[in-house]
Amino acid sequence: MAKGMREIKRQIKSVQNTRQITKAMEMVASAKLRKAQERAQASRPYAEKLKEVVSSIAAASQGVSHPMLVTRPVKRTAYIVITSDGGLVGGYNANILRKVTDMVRTRHASSSEYELFVIGRKGRDYLKRRNYPVSQEVTELSDSPRFADIKSLTYAAVQGFETEQFDEIYVCYNRFVNAITQLPTVERLLPFDSVEHEGLASSYEYEPSPEGVLEVLLPKYAETLIFGALLEGKASELGAKMTAMGSATKNASKMINELTLTYNRARQAAITQEITEIVAGANAAQG
């Protein structure tokens, strides 16, 4: 009985140590989440305004032609997949990777029809282990990523579309809603959908020409959307980690309570047994 009680005590101590770690991780993720959420939300108006300007140029200049505005028969597709570098984030990685792999299996007959650009070690390892064609990868990003961290990857993907290596590009990420909810999202990045903005055509004058402005703006717009998706993904990652560590802390507390109850019952049983033995010994001595 004493041996069993010592084992229960060790278990309680072990779970208490684990709870301290998960509680600390929850607090760290919570502190970082606010900044990441602000960055993600701040990027949305910029991307929307840039899209408005691009759409207005295309609407004002019917003769303007650019590869990113051209829809062509799809022979090859690129996917930009955004995951995390570390674990302990609940279903954050599993949800988006499941969505990507399901989409790939549904849309493509062989691996020659698509290519993957992966951000995050978890996604890279998962996809490479299953022999998916990973073209480029970026790992070990900080919790406050910069565009320079993914510049080479975004440039390769966008240039691949312009040179017709790919006929369409999708960006796959977790869209941040709140700390509890992150939506696995797959959006077509290129070619751009034509959006009409009536009344905007006369609002701007472009120098040296609409074509020249589009030549600069369209690649930057595509890169901005990718970076915005990364910011959304990072906020989602921290939200998922905070939620997962909060759940782990609650589960640890529940386990400690159950183990403590078991320990108290075992201790009570041991005390009762000792009293019974003492009483029996005393009766035997008297007899």
Q: What pLDDT digit, counting tens, does each position of 249-262 carry?
A: 999 999 999 999 99
Question: How many residues are present in the chain?
Answer: 287
Tokens of 101: 């792999």
Least confidently predicted of 3-12, 19-28, 213-222, 274-283:
274-283
Residue 36 parent element (H or E): helix 2-60
How many whole angstroms separate alpha carbon 30 and alpha carbon 27? 5
Sequence-ordered list of residues with C-beta below 8 angstroms from that of 84, at least 6 positions apart, any chain: 92, 93, 120, 121, 122, 233, 237
Q: Which domain holds residue 109?
A: 38-239
Residue 109 in domain: yes
What is the average pLDDT value for the chain, to the nearest integer? Answer: 88
Q: Is residue 268 part of a domain?
A: no
- pLDDT of residue 278 exceeding 90: no
205 within a domain of the structure (yes/no): yes
Is the distance from CB of 259 to CB of 11 less than 8 angstroms?
yes
- Specify if 212 maps to a domain: yes
Q: What CATH number is associated with residue 194?
A: 3.40.1380.10
Mean pLDDT of 152-165: 92
Q: Is 13 part of any domain?
A: no
Contact indicator for 50, 221 with CB cutoff of 8 Å: yes
What's the confidence (pLDDT) of residue 108?
94
Q: Which two tokens stand for residue 279?
A: 């009483």
Q: Is 37 helix (H, G, I), strand (E, B) or coil?
A: helix
Q: Report cis status (omega within 30 of 0) of the bond before 191.
A: yes
User: What number of CA atoms fall less than 13 Å from residue 283's CA on the CB side?
Assistant: 6
Mean pLDDT of 124-140: 95
23-71 confidence digits (pLDDT tens) = 999 999 999 999 999 999 998 888 888 877 777 776 666 666 677 878 8
Task: Determine contact, residues 69/84, Cβ cutoff 8 Å.
Answer: no
Please give the sequence-ordered ranges of beta strands (E in DSSP) within the chain, or none if there are none. Answer: 77-82, 114-119, 134-138, 168-176, 182-190
Number of domains in the chain: 1
